[in-house]
Amino acid sequence: MISKSISTSTKLSGVSDFAALLFTWLQPHCDDNGNMDANPIVVRGLVVPMRKQTVEEVEAAMTELEEVKLITRYSIDGTKYLHVEKFEKHQTLRGDRIDIRYPENISATGGKPDGNQPATGGKRNLTKHNLTERNLTPRGGGGETQPLPGWLNKRKWQEWLDYRKERRLTRTPATIKRQLKFLEVNKADHEAIIEQSIANGWQGLFPSRNRPARSNLLRPPAGKYDNVKTTKI
């Protein structure tokens, strides 16, 4: 739950209305360390899917927030993340569970970035909350461990998995297998398909709007054969 103290933040009062809205709305999507994916396509799809602002405007708003040091963006293994500064000051975190999904900004904590920072590392004490491994297992997961085909853009696919995890959508082996099969059929556009679903806040994958569905490519143009007589055999 967001604290009332956020209303009197002098830094937040100095940014645009949309940047202030984005800062407030993105916090419930952060893990317990105040981290989340910083890809503007992912942020728009998760945080403001029903707003009119574009991906470019989301990027500009995040730049505003970073300039006044409300967030810090960092990169690990080529993937961008963001950290909400003083996250716990404006949040009341639950003590009966833990939610750590993103790697820490090692350089900010005095460590040396080695590109292998585990996503389960964090600041909160598991023993203090008497948590078990079962508490850390996301619902509907298990499909992420399947071998991936060589044609698949691994970074885009991971963004899709992170997005589904944020939305608490199923990631069972059967679901992942069906989605990979769909992307294989549309492999030429599979990156655009993933970006399209995340940007629009969709739960599933659909043919790219920039290209007709594969099944439609097999259909003749409307009206071309309307007057052709057929003979039943």
The pLDDT value recorded for residue 137 is: 37
Sheet of 79-84, strands arranged across? 35-37, 79-84, 71-76
The pLDDT value recorded for residue 152 is: 93
Angle at 186 between CA 181 and CA 190, to 5 degrees: 95
pLDDT tens-digit map of 157-166: 988 988 888 8
Neighbours of 94 (CB within 10 A): 11
Cα–Cα distance between 133 and 151 in angstroms, integer?
34
The pLDDT value recorded for residue 153 is: 92
Half-sphere exposure of 185 (CA within 13 A, CB side): 15
Q: Among 13-22, 171-180, 210-219, name the most confident range.
A: 13-22
What is each CA distance from 233 to 225, 227, 230, in whole angstroms? 19, 19, 9
Q: Which CATH number fits domain 8-136: 2.40.160.40, 3.40.50.300, 3.40.50.2300, 1.10.10.10?
A: 1.10.10.10
Cα–Cα distance between 169 and 94 in angstroms, integer?
22
The pLDDT value recorded for residue 142 is: 56
Cα–Cα distance between 142 and 138 in angstroms, integer?
9
Residue in the structure block whose two tokens are 């992307």:
183
Cα–Cα distance between 5 and 16 in angstroms, integer?
19
Angle at 56 between CA 50 and CA 60, to 5 degrees: 105
User: What pTM value is reported for the model?
Assistant: 0.53
Q: Among 45-49, 173-177, 212-216, name the most confident range.
A: 45-49
Rg of the chain over CA atoms, in angstroms? 22
pLDDT tens-digit map of 46-82: 999 999 999 999 999 999 999 999 999 999 888 899 9
In this prediction, residue 90 has a pLDDT band, given cuts at 50, 70 and 90, of low
Please report, rounded to a whole number, the percentage of residues in the chain having pLDDT higher than 90. Answer: 34
User: Helices then strands (H, E): number in the chain?
Assistant: 7, 3
Residue in the structure block whose two tokens are 């992420």:
144
pLDDT tens-digit map of 91-142: 666 655 566 778 888 665 444 443 334 333 344 433 333 333 333 334 445 5
Cα–Cα distance between 95 and 109 in angstroms, integer?
24
pLDDT at 17 over 50: yes
Beta bridge partner(s), residue 79: 76
Burial of residue 134, with CB atoms counted within 10 A of its CB: 0-12 exposed, 13-18 middle, 19 or more buried: exposed
Structure tokens at 118: 């585990």
Rounded to the nearest 10°, the torsion over CA 20, 107, 101, 149 is 110
Where along the chain do the CATH 1.10.10.10 domains lie?
8-136
Cα–Cα distance between 121 and 132 in angstroms, integer?
15
The pLDDT value recorded for residue 64 is: 96
